[in-house]
Structure 1
Amino acid sequence: MNNLPDGLFAFLEHAGWAGAVIDPIPGDASFRRYFRVADGGRRAMLMHAPPPHEDPQPFLDVARWLAQHGHRAPAIHAAEPAEGWVLTEDFGNDRMRDWLDANPAGEEQAYAQAIDALVQLHQSPPGPFAPYDMSVYHREADLLTEWYCPAREIAADAAAYRTAWGKALAPLLDRQQPGVTVLRDYHAENIMLLSPAADGSGEQGLIDFQDALVGHPAYDLVSLLQDARRDVAPELERRMLDRYRASTGADDQFEADYALLGAQRNAKIVGIFTRLARRDGKPRYLSLIPRVWQALERDLAHPALGPVADWFSANIPDEVRAAHGGGVR
């Protein structure tokens, strides 16, 4: 077959899958590549995450931790991380986002189960992962001033931006102790419906969790309910946030932290999508910025975002904000 990575057949042979049929899967925003492999009645997913751009070891570590604590990550069949190869359980084709496009009546139940999975995750002890500390929050939020503002020819005050985020996020750092495992990209494209029923119920599986850190429980909730790639109605967001709070006993301060992390995450995503277009030649992500910007505006309206909201008012022109972020040229 053409364009298959070197070493693929040797890895499959070592893994006990020699002669398997290989079916490439379209890629995502990373250097990783995925293939479905079939050998008689056996099915598996093959990931190639080659160094130096990728390192599959964090994926393996997080997958094993999740499985050990009763969370539904794909089983690992074989791995050669130094060469970038991982063979895992195949979760099938039903991404939550795609399934809901075809089965909108199942939305409430599918999201409810995704919330319940987060509740379960947050009841586990935090994993042995690095902390989601202020340096990470700053590095992520800075992507807006590093990529988006120059693309829009906005002469933003980057130093004041950092100061504003420091003031807003400092109190949150104490509240996120001792922390929970934060998957960091928990949304409808990274949740697999393994056996979906017509009402949206059924087992759900997790993918794309290799960047897990230990941080605040609101982060993955924001990732799910302020989805950059799928419209989530504010009414559904409210019901699911209430569901989480009812299950965990989270107080009103949690609402402020949810808005803080929503704004931080959405600012990061605007920067990432701009970088994907400008640096990596992937302009399709630009069409998602208006949705992200709308969520960012809602978060900025919360009083907890005062310093950051003031910076946006002073640095991002009204006409850009009125266009919900506009288009990057």
Structure 2
Amino acid sequence: MSDRKTEIETFLENAGWNGAEVTLLAKDASYRVYHRVVRDGARAVLMDAPPALEDVRPFLDIAGQLRRFGYSAPAILAEDVPAGLLLLEDFGDRTFTRILADPGERDWSEEALYAIAVDLLADLHERAPQIGFAAPPYDGGRLVEEADRMLRWYAPLTLGDVVSEDVAEAYRGAWRDAVPVMTHGADTLVLRDFHVDNLMILEGREGLARCGLLDFQDALSGSPAYDLVSLLQDARRDLAPGLEAAMLARYRERRKVADWDAFLRAYHALGAQRAIKILGQFGRQQGFFGRTSYMVHIPRCWAHIEADVDRAGLDGVAAWLDREMPPSVRRIPEPDRRLPSSISPEIKR
């Protein structure tokens, strides 16, 4: 029996779940693993976050803040922070993604799902600054570092070589010039992975509490446009025609944003930044770990980048991409491509 398995069994026993059935529920792109725990008809979710690689404290902090605002973040049933183990309320299996894929789901249309998510964001963006929240800043340094992940982990897979430092610095400079656009307006709590995979429908709850929230441990303080574009320009799925525009109009109606044109420019600039970061994340998964399942989404990411760079007026970024990464290399890498050992897989926190 491995040391980690023993540690988990001891944790569950101390939490009153000894003898429970433990089955794998999900893995994400981080080092966290989730298990469903069942005992005498009761269910919970075990988060296994190896402490050398992950820190559960931000999850606990943001979960508490979200519940204080009245939103549905999982309740914490037990915790062992030094061991990186949490026992969480089980929200079930009705993620937005599963509802959208199930023809038998008739109560929640695509429009209705996106509407409750947009309403929650509008509510959060209004109330979080009024009530007060705490999260690290989503500042220019972090935004540029995230965009740089495309250069480190995706570009070498399609270019066939590491980008030279002078070319890389020109790229970073173009993104630094875009920071004022991306950070326009008052900050709010940004959950950062706000999309259909991490949203759930919870029956028996009312109002916005029907929308369950997952995977928010990386929350920051930044532009309200970020989570909105994360939802409406999903890297993994296409929305029905016209739905993005309809949901932007819905958000505008609920928030009464003072300078909508500036907000939209930030929305598209952050859409480009997020999609280009995701290219890097997908490249990291293939380049270091041989996981190629994400790569089917590369064309969608590039479509978002090309449209958003233009709509946001990020001329420096557009010029760099046209010069250094023309359409011929904006593609899915060959599945056997790997990154050289000289490149680090470390994600800066």
**TM-score clears 0.5:** yes
| Inter-partner Cα distance in structure 1 for 2:199 and 2:54 | 22
Q: Secondary structure at the match of 1:163?
A: helix
In the superposition, relative to structure 1, how do residues 320 and 68 fare at CA in structure 2: closer, same or farther (>3 Å)? same
In the superposition, relative to structure 1, how do residues 165 and 42 fare at CA in structure 2: closer, same or farther (>3 Å)? same
Is the 8 Å Cα contact of residues 168 and 304 (structure 1) preserved in structure 2?
no
| Inter-partner Cα distance in structure 1 for 2:218 and 2:29 | 14
Q: 2:188 aligns with which of 157, 160, 180?
A: 180
* 1:170 CA displacement: 2.4
In the superposition, relative to structure 1, how do residues 151 and 107 fare at CA in structure 2: closer, same or farther (>3 Å)? same
* 1:2 CA displacement: 9.1
Is the 8 Å Cα contact of residues 196 and 202 (structure 1) preserved in structure 2?
no
Q: 1:166 aligns with which of 176, 183, 199?
A: 176
2:71 aligned partner, one-letter code: H
Q: Secondary structure at the match of 1:233?
A: coil
Q: TM-score, normalised by structure 1?
A: 0.92
Structure 1 equivalent of residue 51 of structure 2: 51
Structure 2 equivalent of residue 266 of structure 1: 275
The question of 1:34 aligning with 2:34 is answered yes
Can you give the 5+ residue segments of structure 1 that lack an aligned partner in the other structure?
A: none
The question of 1:212 aligning with 2:219 is answered yes
Structure 2 equivalent of residue 221 of structure 1: 228
* 1:238 CA displacement: 1.0
| Inter-partner Cα distance in structure 1 for 2:292 and 2:332 | 14
Moved more, 259-268 or 6-15: 6-15
Percent same amino acid at aligned positions?
A: 44
Which contiguous aligned blocks of 4+ residues in structure 1 show a shift greater than 6 angstroms? 1-4
The question of 1:135 aligning with 2:141 is answered yes
* 1:6 CA displacement: 2.9
* 1:18 CA displacement: 1.7
Can you give the 5+ residue segments of structure 2 that lack an aligned partner in the other structure?
A: 338-349
Q: 2:289 aligns with which of 258, 276, 280?
A: 280
Q: Secondary structure at the match of 1:38?
A: strand
| Inter-partner Cα distance in structure 2 for 1:233 and 1:296 | 19
In the superposition, relative to structure 1, how do residues 225 and 134 fare at CA in structure 2: closer, same or farther (>3 Å)? same
Q: How much is the aligned-residue C-alpha RMSD, in angstroms?
A: 2.2
| Inter-partner Cα distance in structure 2 for 1:196 and 1:219 | 30
1:30 aligned partner, one-letter code: S
Q: Secondary structure at the match of 1:214?
A: strand
Q: How many residues align?
A: 321
Is the 8 Å Cα contact of residues 269 and 312 (structure 2) preserved in structure 1?
no
Is the 8 Å Cα contact of residues 35 and 46 (structure 2) preserved in structure 1?
yes
| Inter-partner Cα distance in structure 1 for 2:26 and 2:312 | 42
| Inter-partner Cα distance in structure 2 for 1:7 and 1:214 | 34
Q: TM-score, normalised by structure 2?
A: 0.87
The superposition leaves residues 73-99 of structure 1 with CA deviations (integer Å, 9 ceiling, x where unpaired) of 011111001101100100101110111
| Inter-partner Cα distance in structure 2 for 1:320 and 1:171 | 27
| Inter-partner Cα distance in structure 2 for 1:196 and 1:153 | 52
